[in-house]
Amino acid sequence: EVQLVESGGGLVQPGRSLKLSCAASGFTFSNYYMAWVRQAPKKGLEWVATISTSGSRTYYPDSVKGRFTISRDNAKSSLYLQMNSLKSEDTATYYCARHDAGARYFDYWGQGVMVTVSS
Amino acid sequence: DIQMTQSPASLSASPEEIVTITCQASQDIGNWLAWYQQKPGKSPQLLIYSATSLADGIPSRFSGSRSGTQYSLKISRLQVEDTGIYYCLQRYSNPWTFGGGTKLELK
């Protein structure tokens, strides 16, 4: 059974940093692209970052490019999101998601972790 | 950026009814579209990918179609457990964008 378990969320002040983690199990982690998707309170979904199987390629929307860094450790079946220079608009539930075998869509999602950016 | 305009924003329907949700893409995205269901308090679940393909384990009551740059999700024989918010996602070009969501309630 595919499982994605996020951790590392919490309350952080504007301008500070936070690192999220996602522990994957139930599949061969190194074979899949992985992603982070967020959802602000009572709002819709926003794709945040994607990383290739080896970690050599990463993709971001402009809203987080230069502030967020996605990375992975295939030996530990773990995905990370380093978030720097956090803003109030980054407040959201952050989901770890697996891309499908063709690296197209998100086929499995974690339960999400809440990040609140506030002074 | 490609805009995905989803409609309606909300709808209420009775069990066994048929409902259709649409997403209009601001430009051609081919079949690079997926539909997700998010039940209250849960993470999203993939329903349809590549515009018309049913994801594993999803009931055949769900179906997807395309007409030009308009994409539709049809739910036949509505069940109580279909309550939730439905989102489309375009995977054609970066940034990959979701529609604004359609909240479905059962009467």
B36 at A interface, C-beta within 8 A: yes
Nearby residues of B27 by Cβ (< 8 Å), 6 or more positions away? B2, B69
Q: Which two tokens stand for residue A97?
A: 């998601």
Structure tokens that stand for A114 in this block: 């809440």
- Over its C-alpha atoms, chain B yields an Rg (Å, rounded) of 13
Cis, bond preceding B95 (omega within 30 deg of 0): yes
Task: State the pLDDT at residue A68.
Answer: 98
Contact check, Cβ <8 Å, B91/A105: yes
Is the CB of residue B100 less than 8 Å away from at least one CB of chain A?
yes
Which residue among A45, A110, A112 sits closest to B98, beta carbon to beta carbon? A45
Q: In angstroms, how far is the first alpha carbon of chain B from the final one?
A: 37
Write the pLDDT tens digit of every residue in A61-100: 999 999 999 999 999 999 999 999 999 999 999 999 999 9
- Can you give the pLDDT at residue B86? 98
DSSP annotation string for A18-84: EEEEEEEESS-GGGS-EEEEEE-TTS-EEEEEEE-SSSS-EE--TTTTTTEEEEEEGGGTEEEEEE-
Placement of tokens 């869509």 in the chain:
A105
Q: Which helix (H) or strand (E) holds A96?
A: strand A92-99
Cβ contact, residue pair B87, A45, below 8 Å: yes
Q: Please indicate whether, in this complex, the C-beta atoms of B99 and A44 are within 8 angstroms of each other.
A: yes
Question: Rounded to 5, what percent of chain B is helix, strand, coil?
Answer: 5, 50, 45
Query: Judged by CB atoms within 8 Å, which residues 29-68 of A form the interface with B?
Result: 37, 44-47, 59, 61-63
- Residues A18-35 pLDDT 10s: 999 999 999 999 999 999
- pLDDT surpassing 90 at residue A101: no
Write out pLDDT tens, residues B13-57: 999 999 999 999 999 999 999 999 999 999 999 999 999 999 999
Q: How many residues does chain B have?
A: 107
Q: Tell whether A1 is within 8 A of chain B (Cβ).
A: no
- In our burial notation (b when 16+ CB lie closer than 10 A, e otherwise), range A75-111 reads eebbbbbebeebeeebbbbbbbbbbbeeebbbbbbbe
